[in-house]
Structure 1
Amino acid sequence: MGGMPADRAAEPPPPTPLDFQLVLLRRMADHQGELVEDARRELGVSAARMREANRRWQAMAHAAGGRGAGRRYRRFLGPPESSTARRIGDLDCTALRWPVPLWPDLCFEVLLAPGGAEWNAWLVRAPGASAPVLRSAADLRPWSCTVDEVARAFPPARPLEGTAPTRWGLAFTAPAGPPQDDGGGQPRFWVAEFTWGLLQRLREDG
């Protein structure tokens, strides 16, 4: 009799860009559970599928042993929308970028060393998209801006080690609000926390 072998019939479907967006959301849920739930419903997927997408991503990451990062992203996201040679200081790298439909003003960027090792992977502002105007801490709302945007808006921001590979932190000074607000224009110390390069939360430091 014909038909597909049982072992092949049981194989899960290949991962998709939707699954990768669920991977991003799964990590962000630690800080912004309500936003993640709203986004998951907008995507029309279950919490179980989000957990499964993250499980498959983690399994691939551990199986690769830190190698072949570019292939891992391509497997979930398909061919990159752009591949650009870039020089950072004295180092040459390749910047791969993919669109992220959940955040149409952003794209996902991976920086690869000449040998293919991953240097960085995070969400950045998409080419041609308008960056937010950041003048005070009041402008720093969850999911509104990226690491590099906050660093440029409030120099000299100091990088902080994250609590996981996909997390970053920045310490900087900024007014709490517009100068016309009562006391809002006085500089204060802040720590911004990011997941996959996107702002998750802001807290006053000291």
Structure 2
Amino acid sequence: MPPAKRPASPLTPFTPLDFQLVLLRRMADHNADLVEDARHALGASIADMREANRRWQAMRHAPRSRGSVARYRSILGEPESVTPRRIGDLSCEAFLWPVPLWPDLRFEVLVAPGGVAWNEWLVRAPGAPSPELRALDDLTPWSCTVDEAARAFAPARPLEGSAPTRWGLAFTAPDGSGVRRDCTAEFTWGLLQRVAVTGP
């Protein structure tokens, strides 16, 4: 059993482990069993996860809070890559950091001119194979990212998430018998959490 962690003080560094616990904390509402297994793999307790989330929120809302990219650099180190990206009429830069809990994923921060971060989520790592998504049965929790589901079941319609770190998609997908169903999918930090069939 891992040694118990000491309570964090204001001077205790916020580490990549703490950041992964923040990601998990937001996913626990939908997939408690997966989160519990991941938490055990990280050697962290429920109290550790709650404390990491509390400190994260305090950092984000502090009066002198640093910008998103500076905050992630201080926690995760230098990004693995920084690449230009164009989305519609917007030119931006994509900063990617590895996330040990999900080796095939990267944490992506999209930064617009002026240094404003406008999107922060998990994406597939460059060069990592994307999952084969053909039907509803393939859409299991944590199996894919927002952009992978949107591409597989195009045209997908974005939906407003139920919280700042959540996104939704509406689309149609075949069920096990090949009948196409209207569905909605919910993602947390860009990773699939659950799918609901909304139509006949």
> SS state of the match for residue 171, structure 1?
strand
Percent of residue pairs identical:
71
Determine the structure 1 residue equivalent to 2:182. 189
> SS state of the match for residue 70, structure 2?
helix
After TM superposition, which residue ranges in structure 1, 4 or more long, deviate above 6 angstroms? none
| Uncovered stretches (5+) of structure 2, i.e. residues with no partner | 1-8
Determine the structure 2 residue equivalent to 1:71. 70
Q: How is 1:52-63 mapped onto 2 (pairs within 5 angstroms)?
A: 52-63=51-62
Question: Is the contact made by 2:184 and 2:198 (CA closer than 8 Å) also made in structure 1?
Answer: yes
TM-score by length of 1: 0.89
TM-score by length of 2: 0.91
Is residue 155 of structure 1 aligned with residue 154 of structure 2? Answer: yes
Q: In the aligned structure 1, how far is the partner of 2:28 from the partner of 2:135?
A: 25
Question: Is the contact made by 1:67 and 1:116 (CA closer than 8 Å) also made in structure 2?
Answer: no
Q: In the aligned structure 2, how far is the partner of 1:155 from the partner of 1:46?
A: 40
| Uncovered stretches (5+) of structure 1, i.e. residues with no partner | 1-9, 178-183
Q: In the aligned structure 1, how far is the partner of 2:122 from the partner of 2:72?
A: 13
- How far off is 1:64 after superposition? 5.7
Q: How many residues align?
A: 191
Change (3 A) 1:171 1:35: same
Q: How is 1:61-140 mapped onto 2 (pairs within 5 angstroms)?
A: 61-63=60-62, 68-140=67-139
What residue identity is the alignment partner of 1:112? Answer: V
| Structure exhibiting the larger radius of gyration computed from Cα positions | 1
> SS state of the match for residue 133, structure 2?
coil
Q: In the aligned structure 2, how far is the partner of 1:30 from the partner of 1:65?
A: 30
Q: In the aligned structure 2, how far is the partner of 1:31 from the partner of 1:68?
A: 29
Question: Is the contact made by 1:67 and 1:117 (CA closer than 8 Å) also made in structure 2?
Answer: no
Q: In the aligned structure 2, how far is the partner of 1:64 from the partner of 1:90?
A: 32
> SS state of the match for residue 167, structure 2?
strand
Determine the structure 1 residue equivalent to 2:17. 18
> SS state of the match for residue 138, structure 1?
helix
